[in-house]
């Protein structure tokens, strides 16, 4: 009877977010080496997990009972905690992915339950060096932890495509050609540093620099309040949640992408996948030299890293880039060429297959 690798994840498209993007990439990477793989995934809202998790466990149990499972990869630590008892009971070979919040979440009950399970996991695949280090700190054996250089699909984006996207963004959001557009895209939480950027950096940049913030989250009101206090409210454009078409135009059509993260106790940036997405579209990336972002952005090769919360350093570097606006396209093209080579899904598929031994498993 044929057996199959199984990928099980509670975060998957059409739901939107970094974990969902990563899960989709991991799934495509698994399929690249094992087209017979089976996916059990949830692409809906978090409140639906109450019924989806038990159903996913039942489905996995049935697959195991029918002897159709050869190997199981879980998408994150919570998913692993849900199924590890079954996998161990049935002696199914398995591994789990882990993200930044998997190892920094400070809830005592979570740590009491999940961390011991991760310490016993046969293979833990971290999404960055920072995540791997945190896992080792709470006792996951170093020889069981590996780091997966994440990859994303490389879209077909050339200079003409970027120009068309720029025109689209400016028309849709009512900007003129002389405006310099800086974008941050993602969940609006404290560690993203958007409020800090609005309060400390944007006021010192030229008046024609506009800051676009795409995403939703608990920091939205605080960001707007910071913009009011700093006198830059008219230059901060809160776009909220954007659809796929607008997201694509934004990543292609702005002048700069910034990820101004700040350190926050009990939270961390596991990787910063969106910085790779922006660079793959030829948009120059400037990001904080912090946590998992350091795995996503290679300073001077795929983007520019700056010390987190270094107000003057950020002001000086961004002012220089804005003043040399004509050179941004060529800088973005340089970063684009390198990031496509290092962070394409082909490279991730090869690494994942080697780490999990999928090449050695026959369908």
pLDDT tens for each residue of 197-216? 999 999 999 999 999 999 99
The share of the chain scoring above pLDDT 90, in percent, equals 72
- DSSP class of residue 218 equals T
Give the model's confidence band at 361: pLDDT under 50 very low, under 70 low, under 90 confident, else very high: very low
Q: Residues 6-44: pLDDT tens digits? A: 999 999 998 877 788 889 989 988 888 899 999 999 999
Separation of alpha carbons 289 and 353, rounded Å: 30
Residue in this structure with the two tokens 């590996």, named with its chain if needed:
146
pLDDT greater at residue 311 or residue 127: 311
- 112 pLDDT exceeds 70? yes
Of the candidates 92, 138, 148, the one whose C-alpha atom is nearest the C-alpha of residue 113 is: 138
Q: Looking at the predicted structure, is the pLDDT value of residue 362 above 70?
A: no
Q: How far apart are CA 305 and CA 290, in angstroms?
A: 9
pLDDT at residue 83 above 50? yes
pLDDT band with cut points at 50, 70 and 90 for residue 332:
very high
Neighbours of 328 (CB within 10 A): 18
DSSP for 219-231, written as a single string: THHHHHHHHHHHT
* 234 pLDDT tier (thresholds 50, 70, 90): very high
Per-residue pLDDT tens for 251-267? 999 999 999 999 998 78
Residue with the two structure tokens 């999990």: 356
What span, in angstroms and rounded, lies between the C-alpha atoms of 15 and 242?
Answer: 13
Cβ atoms 260, 288 nearer than 8 A? yes
**Position 52 confidence tier, pLDDT thresholds 50, 70, 90:** very high
pLDDT mean over 119-125 = 95
Residue with tokens 């793989």: 37
Q: Give the pLDDT confidence score for residue 359 in this predicted structure.
A: 62
- Between CA 192 and CA 157 the distance in angstroms is 27
CB 78 within 8 A of CB 107: no
CA distance 297 to 89: 41
Separation of alpha carbons 335 and 302, rounded Å = 4
280, 157 contact by CB (below 8 A): yes
Does the pTM of the predicted model rise above 0.95?
A: no
At residue 4 the predicted structure's pLDDT band, cuts being 50, 70 and 90, is very high
């Amino acid at each position: 009877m044929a057996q199959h690798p199984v990928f099980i994840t509670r975060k998957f498209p059409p739901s939107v977010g970094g974990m969902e993007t990563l899960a989709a990439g991991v799934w495509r990477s698994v399929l690249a080496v094992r087209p017979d793989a089976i996916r059990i995934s949830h692409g809906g809202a978090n409140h639906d997990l109450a019924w989806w998790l038990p159903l996913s466990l039942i489905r996995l149990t049935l697959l195991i009972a029918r002897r159709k499972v050869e190997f199981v990869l879980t998408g994150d630590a919570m998913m692993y905690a849900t199924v590890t008892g079954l996998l161990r009971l049935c002696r199914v070979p398995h591994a789990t992915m882990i993200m930044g919040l998997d190892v920094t979440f400070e809830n005592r009950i979570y740590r009491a339950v999940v961390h011991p399970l991760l310490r016993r996991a046969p293979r833990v695949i971290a999404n960055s060096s920072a995540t791997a280090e945190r896992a080792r700190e709470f006792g996951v054996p170093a020889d069981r932890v590996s780091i997966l250089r994440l990859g994303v699909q490389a879209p077909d984006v050339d200079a003409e495509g970027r120009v068309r996207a720029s025109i689209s963004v400016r028309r849709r959001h009512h900007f003129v050609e002389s405006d310099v557009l800086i974008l941050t895209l993602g969940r609006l939480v404290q560690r993203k540093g958007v409020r800090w950027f609005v309060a400390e950096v944007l006021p010192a940049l030229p008046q024609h620099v506009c800051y676009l913030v795409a995403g939703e989250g608990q920091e939205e009101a605080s960001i707007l309040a910071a913009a009011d206090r700093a006198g830059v409210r008219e230059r901060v454009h809160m776009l909220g949640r954007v659809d796929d078409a607008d997201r694509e135009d934004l990543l292609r059509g702005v002048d700069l992408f910034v990820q101004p993260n700040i350190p926050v106790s009990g939270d961390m940036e596991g990787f910063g996948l969106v910085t790779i997405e922006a660079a793959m579209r030829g948009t120059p990336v400037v990001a904080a030299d912090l946590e998992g972002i350091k795995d996503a952005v290679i300073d001077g090769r795929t983007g520019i890293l700056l010390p987190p919360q270094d107000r003057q350093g950020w002001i000086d570097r961004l002012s220089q880039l804005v003043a040399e606006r004509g050179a941004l396209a060529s800088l973005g093209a340089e970063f684009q060429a390198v990031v496509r080579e290092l962070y394409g899904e082909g490279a991730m598929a090869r690494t994942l297959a080697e780490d999990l031994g999928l090449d050695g498993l026959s369908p």
